[in-house]
Amino acid sequence: MQRIAPFRVMEILARAQQMQKAGKDVVHMEVGEPDFPAPQAINAAACAALERGQTHYTPALGITPLREAIGAYYRERFAVEVDPARVVVTPGASGALQLVLGVLVEAGDLVGIQDPGYPCNRHMIELYGGRTLGLPATGASTELWSAALATDGLRGIMLASPANPTGEVMPLEHLEALYQVLRAGQRYLIVDEIYQGLQYGAPPETALALGSDHLFVINSFSKFFGMTGYRIGWAVVPEQWVDPIERLAQNLFLAPPTLAQHAALHAFDDTVLAELEERRQIFEQRRDRLYAGLKALGFRLPDTPPSGAFYLYAGLPESYRGNGEAFCRELLEQAGVAVTPGIDFGHHQTADHVRFAYTTDIDRIELGLERISDFLEAGGP
């Protein structure tokens, strides 16, 4: 437990809420969930399931119609065939990560992860007795990823694409190169596609196009589908791992949430997908506005805006480098803007960075930028 670090952002959030209670306005750019509610058709399906009395356990791997609907979604949207028998419905991507890491990681195993990356991954691997190898997560790091492949005791590599906090999408050909080397060494690739669908400039892809035997793909209804509080996600696992995963799921969760499964059945309705596409376009406009605004204020960002998720991971202007946590605290106290310190996401240059989530509307983003500008002019922390 001593190695399980708290989310610093939760302190920021708590303080922001306290300030709001005291009557101060806060622009929220710290929260990693869509500001949109779950689509109405999904909520109506949850209500209808409740009316029908669907409040009992389901099979541990989820209800068959949902596993089939997920398979059909891969066929229709990505032209990839996925046998529903390999689809495991879980309590969020979080549940999927627990199951996949639980069956794969033996005590002492090493798992390569992105640094900066989603912090829970490191903690979950350690909980199962594994060790992590943090790999700088930016585009320039291909050599480091290759070096990791030669490391003794490496069980696999786990990465998110699009990634949190960078929003970077790993091109399918890079993933394929990684997958082939891992597979040849009897190791595994775990790709967390939780931000799939929230992609800009090019249609989303899936690592499932690469193969099926040494590849675990994790996904969720939380982000693109806007269903964070339903706690529902899924994994697609190699055939020979379905049975161990089922046994672990029975022991850890018994079943994924029943109402959420019935609601998620409607997430792939054409009308819902059309609504989600409109939201995706709104996210893209917000990204472009925030990217331009932060660049103009001297934050260091990639040459082109990252093409996925709803985050910008920005290098702090020169005078605040190494001081990200203090920057976030002072920005909140003095300017009423909440953002997440980079140190929440790992060790690699994270004190020089902060994460901005564009999960608030464009007027609030404009206001946030104005406030940050005034804060920087006034001298900051």
Which stretches of the chain bind ligand PLP, using CB under 6 A? 32, 92-94, 118, 160, 164, 192, 194, 220, 222, 228, 233
Q: On the CB side of 98, how many CA atoms lie within 13 Å of its CA?
A: 17
Structure tokens at 219: 């996904």
- Pick 199 or 222: Cβ nearer ligand PLP: 222
* Beta carbon nearer to ligand PLP, 66 or 372: 66
166 vs 258, which CB is nearer to ligand PLP? 166
State the Cα–Cα distance between residues 122 and 345, nearest whole angstrom: 10
- Closest approach of ligand PLP to the CB of residue 223, in Å: 7
Give yes or no for a contact between 342 and 327, defined as CB atoms under 8 angstroms apart.
Answer: no
State the nearest-atom distance from the C-beta of 309 to ligand PLP, in Å. Answer: 8
Upstream peptide bond of 162 is cis (omega within 30 degrees of 0): yes
Separation of alpha carbons 199 and 311, rounded Å: 11
Output the smallest distance, CB 359 to ligand PLP, in A. 11
For the chain, state the CA radius of gyration.
21
Give the helix ranges, DSSP H, for the chain: 8-21, 40-51, 64-78, 92-104, 119-127, 142-149, 172-184, 242-252, 258-264, 270-296, 324-330, 362-377
Residue 58: Cβ within 10 Å count: 18
Residue placing its CB nearer to ligand PLP in the complex, 228 or 334: 228
User: How far apart are CB 19 and ligand PLP at their closest, in Å?
Assistant: 24
- Nearest CA to 57 out of 289, 197, 335, 261 is that of 261
31 vs 369, beta carbon nearer ligand PLP:
31
Comparison of 92 and 130: residue with beta carbon closer to ligand PLP: 92
CA nearest 182: which of 108, 236, 138, 238?
A: 238
For ligand PLP, the closer of residues 101 and 331 by Cβ is 101
Closest approach, Cβ 32 to ligand PLP, in A, equals 5
Report the SS3 class of residue 192.
Answer: strand
Nearest approach in angstroms of CB 112 to ligand PLP is: 15
Q: Quote the least distance from Cβ 120 to ligand PLP, whole Å.
A: 7
Q: Is residue 217 left, alpha or beta, with left meaning phi > 0 and alpha meaning psi from -120 to 50?
A: beta
By beta-carbon proximity to ligand PLP, the closer residue of 233 and 257 is 233
| Shortest distance, position 202 Cβ to ligand PLP, whole Å | 20
The residue at minimum Cβ distance from ligand PLP is 92
Taking the complex as a whole, the smallest distance from the CB of residue 380 to ligand PLP amounts, in Å, to: 28
d(CA 185, CA 170): 21
Concatenating the DSSP letter of every residue in 120-174 gives HHHHHHHHTT-EEEEEE-SGGGHHHHHHHHT-TTEEEEEEESS-TTT-----HHH
Question: Of 32 and 62, which CB lies nearer to ligand PLP in the complex structure?
Answer: 32
